[in-house]
Amino acid sequence: MPELSLLAALLVGFSGGVHCVGMCGGIVTALSLPTGKRQPFAFYLTYNLGRIASYTLAGALAGLLGSAAFLSDALYPLQQALYLLAQLMLILLGLYLAGLNHAVLMLERWGGRLWTRLQPLFGRLLPVRNLRQALAAGALWGWLPCGLVYSVLVAALASGSAADGAALMLAFGLGTLPNLLAMAWLAERIKRVAQDKRVKFVAGMVVAGFGVWGLCRWLGG
């Protein structure tokens, strides 16, 4: 798997900060202020470790599923279709991050049914009083419907292996970490950087550029 794919996933996670704040704001508030008082930093970190672990697991499962297409030459057209889809999703992600297109957000509707089943389990863990509960709550949080997550999962599916799929989603999760930790601790400086329109535009164009580069390789191959 090209290193650029990992960099693109990291950039998607970081520069999608505004979307993360909008999607996860209520959850972060519920977790961070269970009794009206801010929790120790260890709790915030554990929530996010659980969330990123779920992303990594989902990436591994997607990569494992996609690997079936790489086990037989008879499935070569499917390999090509997955690769093409992954590059197109990168371009759409880049355009979204740059503020030019919102098509990827339609993917969030697909995960609504799963979250409906998980939400009651999440509610039972509140208020979180220990790190074990925090890890479990974070793991459930990782399955919240999110267009950015699903878009990167497409790339994980096309990666052709569980390890590569897990690595992509791990990179994405680590990219989201600064914004969500900053949100919990009200570190405005990091949030301002992630939400700056110029930063988002440049990051979005870089991500879209990775997709265009991948398409050029595909057409040239």
Average pLDDT of the residues in 195-219 = 78
The residue type found at 93 is L
Residue 144 has pLDDT above 50, yes or no: yes
- 71: exposed, middle or buried (Cβ count in 10 Å: 0-12, 13-18, 19+): exposed
Nearest to 122 by CA among 135, 105, 109, 112: 135
Residue 203 has pLDDT above 70, yes or no: yes
Nearest to 104 by CA among 203, 166, 16: 16
Please, which residues have CB within 8 angstroms of residue 60's CB and are 6 or more apart in sequence?
162, 163, 165, 166, 169
Whole-angstrom Cα distance, residue 14 to residue 8? 10
Question: Which of the listed ranges 63-72, 149-158, 166-175, 210-219 does the model predict with the highest average pLDDT?
Answer: 166-175
Q: How far is CA 111 from CA 78, 148, 187, 209, in A?
A: 24, 12, 30, 28
Of residues 46 and 210, more confidence is placed in 46
Residue 186 has pLDDT above 60, yes or no: no
Q: For the ranges 2-11, 18-27, 174-183, which has the lowest average pLDDT? A: 18-27
Please, which residues have CB within 8 angstroms of residue 192's CB and are 6 or more apart in sequence?
none
Please, which residues have CB within 8 angstroms of residue 68's CB and are 6 or more apart in sequence?
75
Average pLDDT of the chain to the nearest whole number = 78
What single-letter DSSP state applies at residue 160?
A: S
At 2 the pLDDT is 47
Whole-angstrom Cα distance, residue 170 to residue 55? 7
Please, what is the end-to-end C-alpha distance for the chain in angstroms? 17
The token pair that represents 159 in the structure block: 């990666």
Count CB-CB contacts under 10 A for residue 65.
13
| Coil/strand/helix, residue 68 | helix
Residues of the chain with pLDDT > 70, as a percent, come to: 74
At 29 the pLDDT is 62
Residues of the chain with pLDDT > 90, as a percent, come to: 19
Q: For the ranges 147-151, 195-199, 208-212, which has the lowest average pLDDT? A: 195-199
At 135 the pLDDT is 95
